[in-house]
Amino acid sequence: VFGSRVAPDLAPNAIACALDRRCGDGTPLLDLTESNPTRCGLSAGPSALRRALSQLAADPAALLYDPDPCGPAAVRAAIAGYHTRRDGCPLAPEHVVVTAGTSEAYAHLFRLLCEPGDLVHVPRPGYPLVEQLAALEGVATAHYALRKPAHGARWRIDLAAVEASLTRRSRAIVLIHPHNPTGAWVDPADFAPLCELARDRDLALVSDEVFADAADGPGERSALLQGRDAPLCFVLSGASKVLALPQLKVAWIAVAGEATLRDAAVARLEHIADAFLSLSPLAASLLPALLEARAEIAEELRVRVATNRAHLARSVAPHPDIELLPAEAGWAAILRAPRIPPEREEAITITLLEQHAVRVHPGYFFDLTEGAAAHWVIQLLLEPARFAEGASRLAEALANAG
Ligand SMILES: Cc1ncc(COP(=O)(O)O)c(C=O)c1O
């Protein structure tokens, strides 16, 4: 009776089973996979949210339902203002489509760009969500490789491999800028040939920039919103990462590229969004006030991530066989253990849960398979005292496993 978009086997994997068993025994878990900022004792986002909610409670307009499929005009204007300031080039409110989360933004784009069975190209390693979202829309994914140079934080796109993997069913190339979990920006030297390739082959570029404000340093601008002769492109971002407020379920798509194509894309996105009207205008209307607090929120996150990254660096420093990979942005860190074969990632992850009460993600969750080394991905948001304890148990256990 069921279609094939959802895999028939939904049984939990071995790590999820170990976690379930552990939850029964009552020992507190140090969860280094925690990426939900509302569980990490942060205060700037919640304070801004309280202020915005009390303003909204006093606003009679909040009592009216007057849906606009692309989002309320004032919200689109606030998002356009955010990109105009951040990226240093004007973005018009009419080119912004507000969505109920970034996942919905991806789903709308796959509906806009693809026939069932068409192909979207996604980076590997990468955050595993995009493939799942594509599959739910009947769209296939092909991986293109990101390569880590021997030195430095910037992973590079294997452009020849991208080109070689294109087929006549290819519709879009997805970029994650900055990337999760490598924390690397797309290198400007990779953007220009990708734009050229997309223009030549009638492909769209989708740039997921949810972590663009989580930079260690000045960061990069959205290269796609700058180019006059850019191909059709879509920049994604949202409140869950920019404001550390995932409970809003508000994200957006900024559309750019050649004017006729761009306007046709916005009109079609409006048609798609109109079929669902899934965005809560009430939640969206909090965004203008919240975006005014974004510098404060970003600074608290920056300090949290830097503090925890320093704890992690100190914990692994005595162990030369565990390497903390450099990163430029984002909320994640990658540990690489060249003396541990990748096949042992899962068993060690389970031992960490069962014997050390520490939870981490194995590298294979993110297709981190470069070289014959094991990897683990750690989220850097946890409250620092708990994070430091988790990092030191983790480093000891990995050193003993190697
Ligand atoms: C690169 C990337 N894009 C999108 C998302 C999902 O964002 P949202 O919470 O807005 O659905 C995540 C979540 O971690 C992510 O890592």
- The response to whether residue 127 sits with its C-beta less than 6 Å from ligand 1 reads yes
Closest listed residue to residue 148, CA positions, set 324, 370, 383:
370
Distance CA 199, CA 230 (A): 8
CB 384 within 8 A of CB 142: no
Atom of ligand 1 nearest to the CA of 35: 14
Strand partners, 50: none
Torsion sign (Cα): 174, 211, 98, 266: negative
Report CA(101)–ligand 1 centroid distance (Å): 8
Res 199: pLDDT: 93
CB 400 within 8 A of CB 367: no
Instruction: Return the amino acid letter for 100.
Output: A
Residue with tokens 């379930």: 20
HSE of 195, CA atoms in CB hemisphere, 13 A: 22
Res 370: pLDDT: 75
- The response to whether residue 99 sits with its C-beta less than 6 Å from ligand 1 reads no
- The response to whether residue 210 sits with its C-beta less than 6 Å from ligand 1 reads yes
Res 223: pLDDT: 67
Q: SS3 for 284?
A: helix
Strand partners, 247: none
- The response to whether residue 288 sits with its C-beta less than 6 Å from ligand 1 reads no
Residue nearest to atom 10 of ligand 1 (CA): 102
How is 124-177 classified by DSSP, letter by letter?
ES--THHHHHHHHTT-EEEEEEEE--SSSS--EE-HHHHHHH--TTEEEEEEES
Q: SS3 for 377?
A: strand
- The response to whether residue 240 sits with its C-beta less than 6 Å from ligand 1 reads yes
- The response to whether residue 183 sits with its C-beta less than 6 Å from ligand 1 reads no
CB 358 within 8 A of CB 390: yes
Q: What angle do CA 83, 89, 90 make, to 5 degrees?
A: 75
Closest listed residue to residue 251, CA positions, set 240, 236, 238:
238
Res 227: pLDDT: 64
pTM of the model: 0.96
Cis check for the bond before 178: say yes or no (omega within 30 of 0).
yes
Res 308: pLDDT: 98
- The response to whether residue 103 sits with its C-beta less than 6 Å from ligand 1 reads yes
- Which residue among 104, 180, 182, 287 has the greatest number of ligand 1 atoms within 8 angstroms of its CB, and so is best to mutate? 180
Q: What is the pLDDT along the chain (402 residues), one digit of tens a residue?
A: 999 999 888 999 999 999 988 877 777 899 999 999 999 999 999 999 999 999 999 999 999 999 999 999 999 999 999 999 988 888 999 999 999 999 999 999 999 999 999 999 999 999 889 999 999 999 999 999 999 888 877 899 999 989 999 999 999 999 999 999 999 999 989 988 999 999 999 999 999 999 999 998 777 777 677 666 789 999 999 999 999 999 999 999 999 999 999 999 999 999 999 999 999 999 999 999 999 999 999 999 999 999 999 999 999 999 999 999 999 999 999 999 999 999 999 999 999 999 999 999 999 999 998 778 999 999 999 999 999 999 999 999 999 997
What's the burial of 257, exposed, middle or buried (CB within 10 Å: 0-12/13-18/19+)?
buried
What's the burial of 177, exposed, middle or buried (CB within 10 Å: 0-12/13-18/19+)?
buried
DSSP state of 187: P
Torsion sign (Cα): 96, 97, 100, 102: negative
Q: What are 202-223's pLDDT values in tens digits?
A: 999 999 999 999 998 777 777 6
CB 243 within 8 A of CB 301: no
Instruction: Return the amino acid letter for 270.
Output: E
CB 323 within 8 A of CB 335: yes
Distance CA 362, CA 352 (A): 11
Distance CA 371, CA 337 (A): 10
